[in-house]
A and B are shown apart, each in its own frame.
Chain A
Amino acid sequence: MTGPSQPVEDRSWTVRLRSWIGRLVPPGQALPDRQPVYVASWIYVFGVLTLAGFVVVVATGCVLAIGGTTWWHVSALGHFVNSLHLWSTELFFAFMVIHLWGKFFMAAWRGKRALTWMTGAVAFVGSIGTAFTGYLSQSNFDSQWISTQAKDGLNAVGIGAWFNVLDPGQMLTWHIALLPLVVGVLAVWHVVLVRRHGVVPPIDAVAPVDAGPPVDAGPPDGSVVDPGDVVRAG
Chain B
Amino acid sequence: MEPWGVGMSLLAEAGAYVSWGPIQISVTNLVIVGLMVLVFLAALVVPFGREHDSRGPR
Which of A33, A41, A208 lies at the interface centre, i.e. has the most chain B CB atoms within 10 A of its CB? A41
* Given known contacts A34-B57, A231-B53, A97 and B36 CB-to-CB distance under 8 angstroms: yes
Name the distance in Å between B3's Cβ and chain A's nearest Cβ.
Answer: 13
CA distance A33 to B55 in the complex (A): 13
Q: Does A154 contact B (CB under 8 A)?
A: no
Partner of A232, one of B36, B42, B53: B53
Tell me whether B57 and A231 are in contact (CB under 8 A).
Answer: no
CA distance A97 to B36 in the complex (A): 8
Name the distance in Å between A105's Cβ and chain B's nearest Cβ.
Answer: 9
Enumerate B9-48 residues with CB–CB distance to A below 8 Å. Answer: 32, 36, 39-40, 42-44, 46, 48
Tell me whether A98 and B54 are in contact (CB under 8 A).
Answer: no
Q: Does A55 contact B (CB under 8 A)?
A: no
Nearest A-chain residue to B49, judged by Cβ: A40
Tell me whether B56 and A98 are in contact (CB under 8 A).
Answer: no
* Given known contacts A98-B39, A231-B53, A40 and B48 CB-to-CB distance under 8 angstroms: yes
Nearest B-chain residue to A145, judged by Cβ: B10
Question: DSSP majority for the B interface?
Answer: loop
Nearest A-chain residue to B44, judged by Cβ: A43
Tell me whether B36 and A43 are in contact (CB under 8 A).
Answer: no
Interface residue tally on A, bucketed by range = 20 to 34
* Given known contacts A34-B58, A41-B48, A101 and B40 CB-to-CB distance under 8 angstroms: yes
Q: Does A228 contact B (CB under 8 A)?
A: yes
Partner of A230, one of B39, B40, B43, B57: B57
Name the distance in Å between B37's Cβ and chain A's nearest Cβ.
Answer: 8
Partner of B43, one of A43, A97, A208, A212: A43
Q: Which residues of B contact A97 (CB under 8 A)?
A: 36
Nearest B-chain residue to A208, judged by Cβ: B57
Q: Which residues of B contact A86 (CB under 8 A)?
A: none
Report A115-159 CB contacts with B as 1/0, cut-off 8 Å: 000000000000000000000000000000000000000000000
Report A11-52 CB contacts with B as 1/0, cut-off 8 Å: 000000000000000000000011001001111011000000
Residues of B participating in the A interface, judged by any CB pair closer than 8 Å: 32, 36, 39-40, 42-44, 46, 48, 50-58
Sampled A-B contacts (6; CB under 8 Å) = A42-B44, A42-B48, A228-B56, A230-B56, A231-B53, A232-B51
